[in-house]
Amino acid sequence: MLNELIQKLKDRTAIIGIAGLGYVGQPLLLRYTDIGYKVIGFDIDEGKVNDLNNGYSQIEHISDDRMKNAVSKGFEATFDFSRASECDALILCVPTPLSKHREPDMSFVVNTTDMLKKYFREGQVVSLESTTYPGTTEEILLPRLEEGGLKVGENIYLVYSPEREDPGNPNFETRTIPKVVGGQTKACKEVGIALYEQAIDQIVPVSSTKAAELTKLLENIHRAVNIGLVNEMKVVADRMGIDIFEVIDAAKTKPFGFTAYYPGPGLGGHCIPIDPFYLTWKAREYGLHTRFIELSGEVNRAMPEYVVSKLMDGLNDTNKSLRGSKVLVLGIAYKKNVDDMRESPSVEIMELIQAKGAEVAYSDPHVPKFPKMREHSFNLSSVSLTPEALASFDAVVLATDHDKFDYDAIYEHAKLIIDSRGKYRHVNSKVVKA
């Protein structure tokens, strides 16, 4: 059975199932379809399923032409999870957010696995790609795979292989990003390698699913801690009257021992703001308190309030209060040049501004209408940055530095700019550095 499954994966006659058709699932389905696999996509969102089957990706950096091409090659999206029994491989790419108490919310992983488990069969491999704490694959997926009498490592195989997508990054694609693969058993790892080596240029095998889970956390905690450091340095430099961007640019000329990270209005995206809390939560089970990691999280979470405090200072200098003012937030995606809103600090900035009695609007060329989100709601559409529109606001807050913004025109027509990204670092008049 093991050799038969590996051969089907290698000769590309295996059917690949992908559960969760968002920012991780879509690039993966495109890659497997491109290289000749039959791919079935699963999602509970019927609207998304229908759009994908009609060739509409719903994600800005994935063109509709690419999705139409996948459909022409046999890709199907469905909300009928019974079709999982057709698949030789099932790859889970579902969200793993935090609860309101900043603890892991595993409901998407649990619910998806529960929807699939009645269709698990001999000769399948199940791979979890969602970011999570060490032990998730073993504690949550393994017992569900074995509920019906199957035995992991003998007649069904279990893998953890963390996603490493970077939406909008033109330098990397699914194929070129090395893939970490950990199996629940040696046989599971063999199958996992066979599953991914067809689609990814470089496979990085590790000894266990736990090692693979912790690898993903380390990657993103590394970024979160260093961004927390530079955000704190930004506050110190500002108090001292020093340009933190000048300091970073000078420091990065050192050819060893320094990696440049840049400050901003807070952390966004599905991974970096969330992953540290997965590890701190799990570490408590072992009687450990991850003080260093938690401190960086506190610093990063405080950044939206810091930006709003700089907004209030700037308005005060023009004899205005924030209450009753009109404020335009520039960029609400979590990073430049994408439409991805997950965990965007811009949204928290908007909520803080609104809570203090100001009228808030936004402009984002990648997000024409404020999307439906689990925890945030604004009935707003993107403001066109005409001279008249810019001049009508008491202040604009640069939160996400999209390349499509005309920064010269913004500077010319805005009354006050709160700059959290260093785009106006060389300008002193009517700019508050945040």
**pLDDT tens-digit map of 83-111:** 999 999 999 999 998 877 778 899 999 99
pLDDT tier at 36 (50, 70, 90 boundaries)?
very high
Mean pLDDT value across residues 20-46 = 96
pTM given for the model:
0.90
Burial pattern 228-240, b for ≥16 Cβ within 10 A else e, equals bbbbbbbbebbee
- Residue 362, SS3 per DSSP: strand
Active site residue 87: no
Average pLDDT over residues 263-287: 84
Q: Residue with structure tokens 């009645």?
A: 118
Asked if pLDDT for residue 168 goes beyond 70, the answer is yes
Edge-first strand listing for the sheet containing 431-433: 359-363, 326-330, 395-398, 417-419, 431-433
pLDDT at 307 over 70: yes
Distance CA 220, CA 105 (A): 18
Q: Are 155 and 1 in contact (CB under 8 A)?
A: yes
3-state secondary structure of 40: strand
User: For the segment 321-350, what is each residue's pLDDT rounded down to a tens digit?
Assistant: 999 999 999 999 999 999 988 889 999 999
Specify the CATH number of the domain 217-299. Answer: 1.10.1040.10
2-206 and 217-299 share one fold: no
What's the confidence (pLDDT) of residue 286?
92
List, for residues 129-151, the tens digit of each pLDDT value. 999 999 999 999 999 999 999 99
* Contact call for residues 162 and 212 (beta carbons, < 8 A): yes
382: which DSSP letter? Answer: P
Give Cα 416 to chain centroid, integer Å.
Answer: 31
**If we measure between CA atoms, which residue out of 226, 218, 103, 99 comes closest to residue 162?**
218
CATH of 2-206, one of 3.40.718.10, 2.60.40.1180, 3.40.50.300, 3.40.50.720: 3.40.50.720
Please give the angle made by the CA atoms of 158, 86 and 155, to the nearest 5 degrees: 35
CB 33 within 8 A of CB 56: no
Q: What percent of the chain has pLDDT over 70?
A: 99
Mean pLDDT value across residues 15-19: 98
Which residue, 106, 94, 116, 127, is CA-closest to 24? 94
Q: What is the dihedral of CA 94, 96, 99, 100, to 10 degrees?
A: -90
pLDDT over 70 (residue 270): no
Going by the DSSP 8-state scheme, the letter that residue 276 receives in this structure is: H
**Among residues 337, 349, 352, 334, which one has the least CA distance to residue 397?**
349
Note whether 209 and 216 are within 8 A (CB): no
Residue 355: CB atoms within 10 Å:
10
Asked if the model's pLDDT at residue 126 lies above 80, the reply is yes
Band of the pLDDT at 301, cuts 50, 70, 90? very high
Q: Do 237 and 422 contact (CB within 8 A), yes or no?
A: no
What are the sequence ranges of the domains in the chain? Answer: 2-206, 217-299, 302-433
Write down the pLDDT at residue 100. Answer: 75
CATH fold of the domain at 302-433? Rossmann fold (3.40.50)
Please state, in angstroms and rounded to a whole number, the distance separating the CA atoms of residues 399 and 380. Answer: 17
Q: Mean pLDDT for the chain?
A: 94
